[in-house]
Amino acid sequence: MRVLAAAVASALVLACATAASARTGPPVSPALAPVVELSADRLATAELIAAAKWHSGEPVEAPEREAQVLAQAERSARLLGGDPAFALAFMRDQIEANKVIQRGRHADWYAHPERRPRRAPDLAGARADLDRLTPALVGALADAGPGAPGCEAELAGAAHRVAAERGLDGSGRTALAVSLASVCAGWAQPAT
């Protein structure tokens, strides 16, 4: 329930900020753009992973795999001199966003058998892509540095641009908002 509330709140913030930025032009921070673009790259794997899990019978929830991704993010943050707690919160959002899409696809496939994927994609290949993206995401987050006032508006502008460029549908936009939920909140906390 907490995750759903956070997803709805993130989507509402993104929608409100997007509506406001549409009137004045989207303020896009060059520092935040790579974070948003890499988050969208990570989300692009979700449908393949959903299809692979559908065919294998694996559940969407994969606690052991999630623990591996989080450990990799923490190591990357430490190597980069970043805040490991911030990196972990950010990567938890990334994981949850991916699962939002996976759950949505599975629900759609249960309801509409004709839409089910006909073949199973390579889950190991998709996970290898995620393993390459994790340090890149943590690095982009570290490169972006502490958020300035207006972080939310800048992040929403970048998310709006990326969502439009990639043609994300409503669930894709919601998942992108979930993937970015900790970005500005994390900068509000001092690094320890």
pLDDT tens sequence for the chain (192 residues):
444 444 444 444 444 444 444 434 444 457 899 999 999 999 999 999 999 999 999 999 999 999 999 999 999 999 998 899 999 999 999 999 999 999 999 999 999 999 999 999 988 988 999 999 999 999 999 888 766 678 889 999 999 999 999 999 999 999 999 999 999 886 554 444
Distances, alpha carbon 52 to alpha carbons 48, 102, 131, 145, in Å: 6, 10, 17, 36
Q: Mention every residue, 6+ apart, whose C-beta is less than 8 A from residue 4.
A: none
The pLDDT value recorded for residue 186 is 67
Q: Mention every residue, 6+ apart, whose C-beta is less than 8 A from residue 168.
A: 40, 162, 176
Q: Rounded distance, CA 57 to CA 68, Å?
A: 21
Burial class (CB in 10 A: 0-12, 13-18, 19+), 22: exposed
Across the chain, which distance is largest between two alpha carbons, in Å?
51
pTM for this prediction: 0.81
The pLDDT value recorded for residue 111 is 97
Separation of CA 184 from chain center = 14
The pLDDT value recorded for residue 95 is 97
Tally Cβ neighbours within 10 Å of residue 20: 14
Q: Rounded distance, CA 177 to CA 159, Å?
A: 8
Tally Cβ neighbours within 10 Å of residue 47: 18
Element holding 8 (H helix, E strand): helix 2-24
Q: Rounded distance, CA 109 to CA 129, Å?
A: 24
Domain 2-188, second-level architecture: Up-down Bundle (1.20)
The pLDDT value recorded for residue 1 is 43
